[in-house]
Amino acid sequence: MDRTYNYHFTPPKGWMNDPNGLIYIDGVYHLFYQHYPHDIVWGPMHWGHAVSKDLLHWEHKPVAIYPTKEEYIFSGSCVYDKENVSGLGTKECPPLVAFYTAHNPVTGEEQQSIAYSTDYETFTKYVGNPVIENKKDTAADLTQEKPAFKKDFRDPKVFPNPILGGFSMVLAVGHQLEFYHSMNLLSWEKTGEFAPKEGFKEICECPDCFPVETDEGTKWILTLSLTSHIMPYYVGEFNGNTFAEEKGEFEESVSTPLLDYASDNYAMVTFANCPEILMLGWGESWDYVSQTPAKNYRGKMTMTRKAQLVKIEDGWRLRFTPATLSGVAPKDVWQGILQPGEQKEFVVGTNKKLVLSVTEEEILVDRSKAGDLSFSDYLQTKAAKFSAKRLKTGDCNITVIQDNGYVEIFADDGFVVFSVMTY
């Protein structure tokens, strides 16, 4: 039997993973996503599509972008080209431009391509694709007939550039990120790079870069997902060409914060063209999602989260709150305080309990007795328990939302979040 969720988006059928092209236009939230409609396991990637006016109730739309035998439609983003700088629409009917990674399933080569729509539902692939070609890697073994192309060259996130004008793109390229700039969304020039801190030297995926207004002026947030399935974020400055992490008053020893401290959230990105900072992620884990019980569909999204940037003792940190809490039934929400040394059990099934506990230093989540973990060795050994350093002291303010076994925990006033699935 398939699970039904009251507050979490699921596909109409088939497979779903990363959210793509999140964007807000004229009162409507658009969610595109990695989708394979013909099976409940990963397959040739399409872009699925759904819309909502409240981020809680979603209307399924037809598949937005289809793959071919030579091109799977991997993750990316959308831009509302209001001034029609691309020329792909008109001033009266601005185009929605979707940036995606065109993945060749035979060679593995990846290019950045676009498709566009003037009805925001039916998309046409651009005849000039790719807009960013995968240039040959000159550092490759020159004894080969042709140097290799860059591997893991994907997941373009495009955003307005307030310094140079036009638009910038942050792209995941192997173990680092690259930045590009364009005035017309069609012609792109590389402008910079960013390498994550030591300890995060893994394949990067699904980056995002966005400004946040604070009492001390504009700060920029850079987020990414790593193949270890963690999502660090950095606070700093964007100079129009690249991102630089903020240094100075905060110690190097301060750990890099994460968007989520459990394993059932990945590829979380923001809604573009939106007056608030709203983030949505894929509420699953690559380590065991293909083993989870399912029949007609597999995959869900997290609830949408509102983010604020707040300065605390450890530095600038994102504080998250559920964006649609008012639409959640009281029986599915617990809000309260745990003092250091206390714990609370959440019933997630018959005699099945998820345990949340708090110390002065840590917040701990234990799902080892919250359901069946036997179908996955990883679940039993590496993902049965989670912990995170506290970012507040004393009492711990907590909000917990339960939705048919999927539990989202906002602890320490929302500075520490855990997304945990139970089975």
Q: Where are the domains of the chain?
A: 14-324, 330-421
Distances from the Cα of 285 to the Cαs of 137, 141, 147, 162, 225, in angstroms?
31, 35, 34, 35, 12
The verdict on whether 314 is a catalytic residue reads no
114: exposed, middle or buried (Cβ count in 10 Å: 0-12, 13-18, 19+): buried
CA angle 55, 238, 102 (to 5 degrees): 60
Per-residue pLDDT of the chain (423 residues; tens, 9 = 90+): 678 999 999 999 999 999 999 999 999 999 999 999 999 999 999 999 999 999 999 999 999 999 999 999 999 999 999 999 999 999 899 999 999 999 999 999 999 999 999 999 999 999 999 999 997 655 555 555 555 789 999 999 999 999 999 999 999 999 999 999 999 999 999 999 999 876 677 899 999 999 999 999 999 999 999 988 899 999 999 999 999 998 755 445 457 899 999 999 999 999 999 999 999 999 999 999 999 989 999 999 999 999 999 999 888 999 999 999 999 999 999 999 999 999 999 998 777 899 999 999 999 999 999 999 999 999 899 999 999 999 999 999 999 999 999 999 999 999 999 999 999
Residues 6 or more apart whose Cβ sits within 8 Å of residue 351 = none
Tell me which of 18, 264, 366, 403 is the catalytic residue: 18
61: exposed, middle or buried (Cβ count in 10 Å: 0-12, 13-18, 19+): middle
> 14-324 sits in which CATH class?
mainly beta
Q: What are the tokens at 175?
A: 């173990």
Q: What are the tokens at 5?
A: 């969720």
Q: Which amino acid is at 161?
A: N
- Cβ distance 250 to 310 under 8 Å? no
Residues 6 or more apart whose Cβ sits within 8 Å of residue 369 = 352, 353, 355
Phi first, then psi: what are they for 414, rounded to 5°? 90, 5
* The pLDDT of residue 198: 67
For the domain spanning 330-421, the CATH number is: 2.60.120.560
* The pLDDT of residue 250: 47
Evaluate if pTM is beyond 0.85: yes
* The pLDDT of residue 255: 78
**Cis peptide, bond prior to residue 130, ω within 30 of zero:** yes
Q: E strands, 161-288, where?
A: 167-173, 176-182, 189-194, 204-214, 217-226, 233-238, 243-245, 266-270, 278-282
How far apart, in whole angstroms, are the C-alpha atoms of residue 16 and residue 299? Answer: 5
How far apart, in whole angstroms, are the C-alpha atoms of residue 410 and residue 419? Answer: 9
How far apart, in whole angstroms, are the C-alpha atoms of residue 324 and residue 189? Answer: 39
Residues 6 or more apart whose Cβ sits within 8 Å of residue 316 = 214, 219, 235, 246, 309, 310
Which stretches within 169-270 are classed as H helix? none
